[in-house]
Amino acid sequence: MTAWTARTALNNIVGYLKNNKGQGLTEYVLIITFIALVVIAGLTPVGTAVSAKFTEMVSILSGI
């Protein structure tokens, strides 16, 4: 039953993309690209902060 549901969902997505060509599809791609860039830009400082905290913990634990 799961494979049938996944196949049906995939067919629905493919049918939707075939019906929405041109400008509409281009707008969706641009929006998704913009969201991805915002997420990457937002997570980069977080990753740097997490890395700094791990480095701080390692230096504290190595002094024990």
Residue 46 domain flag: yes
Residue 54 domain flag: yes
> Tens digits of per-residue pLDDT, 13-60?
777 666 655 667 778 888 999 999 999 888 888 889 999 999 999 999
What is the model's pLDDT at position 4?
Answer: 62
Residue 7 domain flag: no
User: Looking at the 3D structure of the chain, how many domains does it have?
Assistant: 1
Tell me if residue 19 falls in helix, strand or coil: helix
Which residue segment(s) compose the domain that 35 sits in?
A: 21-64
Residue 30 domain flag: yes
Residue 6 domain flag: no
Residue 25: other Cβ atoms inside 10 A: 14
Residue 14 domain flag: no
Phi, psi of 63 (to 5 degrees): -85, -10
Residue 56 domain flag: yes
From CA 62, how far away is CA 45, in angstroms rounded?
26
The residue type of 61 is L
Residue 27 domain flag: yes
The tokens describing 50, both together, are: 């997490």
Binned at pLDDT 50, 70 and 90, residue 1 comes out as very low
